[in-house]
Amino acid sequence: HLPSRVKLVDVGPRDGLQNEKSPVPAAVKIELVHRLQDAGLTEIEVTSYVSPKWVPQMADNAEVMAGIRRKPGVRYSVLTPNMQGLEAAMKPAPELWPDEIVVFGAASEAFSQRNINCSIAESIERFRPVVAAARANNIYVRGAISCTVGCPYEGEIAPERVEMVARLMKDIGVQHIGVADTIGVGTPLKVQRALEAALKHYDLDGVSGHFHDTYGQALANTLASLQMGVWQFDTSVAGLGGCPYAKGATGNVATEDVVYLLHGMGIETGIDLDKLIDAGKFISDFLGRQPNSRAATALLNK
């Protein structure tokens, strides 16, 4: 019962670039978004409206959102951890608003504190008005749950924690849950347990996987998710990514590698792998390194 079609959300411009030490100009981020949409991505996580003191790399959020040439059929999402973030995202004219916002919590108390400076319970209270205001304005609300299998501070995380946060998010009106393996420690059965926990409160259309590839398990975890019928994943072009508050965590699984996997299994994505590899090459060249994607490396050296 594998899905016949999969939707990939490229989180490269956000998750991928938030962790870069040297500044990436807004024009480069905008060009990356354009290249991703030209490659057939239908959802792109563009930026985040967080504190520039915490994450300086995303301080140009408004400039990036304003600079994107919107392509019909493409959804643009941004992270908004609180009302200040949502208000900033909705400050310009409605045509510049995101189609979707992401509130991001964690299944680990310690990670919640380190990442968003509050407890899990407090985070839900911060998200409540954000979710209500976004939905009142027809902006779709996704919730991300970090550390659903492991936490850099607390170690292994029980599925019950994931279920609890999914329930709390459901209660405040979050429409979709992203189950994140923030530090890439998950293996297939553990990831399936975490997804099952989210699926207690959301249906299959309302759950996606977000797997960092620190231990090289993300493709296996993607396949394990597909076998459960999960058909939406966050991936990052050229395998960019990492969270500044999760030490040692590397990038998200490369979009190129997931597309190669899916197409090889006869699963449609609507993505042109060659164009995607070019997009990954573009940003990797800018950053002065090779794309962190096995498929891209193989195809570029063919």
- Catalytic residues, which ones? 243
Closest approach, Cβ 152 to ligand HMG, in A, equals 11
d(CA 173, CA 230): 21
Closest approach, Cβ 243 to Mg ion, in A, equals 5
Q: Annotate 9-41 with DSSP letters as a single string.
A: EE-IIIIITTT-SS---HHHHHHHHHHHHHTT-
33 binding partner (options Mg ion, ligand HMG, none; Cβ < 5 to 8 Å by kind):
none
> Residue number with the shortest CB distance to Mg ion?
15
The interface mask with ligand HMG, positions 15-34, x = CB under 6 A, is: x--x----------------
β-strands 150-151, 155-156 pairing: antiparallel
Q: Does 208 bind ligand HMG (CB under 6 A)?
A: no
The interface mask with Mg ion, positions 14-53, x = CB under 5 A, is: -x--------------------------------------
Q: Does 181 bind Mg ion (CB under 5 A)?
A: no
Closest approach, Cβ 4 to ligand HMG, in A, equals 27
d(CA 38, CA 23): 24
Q: Does 50 bind ligand HMG (CB under 6 A)?
A: yes
d(CA 54, CA 181): 21
List the interface residues with ligand HMG, window 137-196 (CB under 6 A).
Answer: 144, 146, 180, 182
Degrees to nearest 5, angle at CA 232 with 55 and 96: 50
Instruction: Specify whether the CB–CB gap between 157 and 150 falls below 8 A.
Output: yes
Q: What distance lies between CA 85 and its chain's CA centroid?
A: 17
Cβ burial, residue 244 (10 Å; 0-12/13-18/19+): middle
d(CA 219, CA 239): 12
Nearer to ligand HMG, 221 or 273 (CB): 221
Q: Where along the sequence are the contacts to Mg ion (CB under 5 A)? A: 15
Q: Where along the sequence are the contacts to ligand HMG (CB under 6 A)? A: 15, 18, 48-51, 54-55, 79, 81-82, 84-85, 88, 104, 115-117, 144, 146, 180, 182, 210, 212, 243, 245
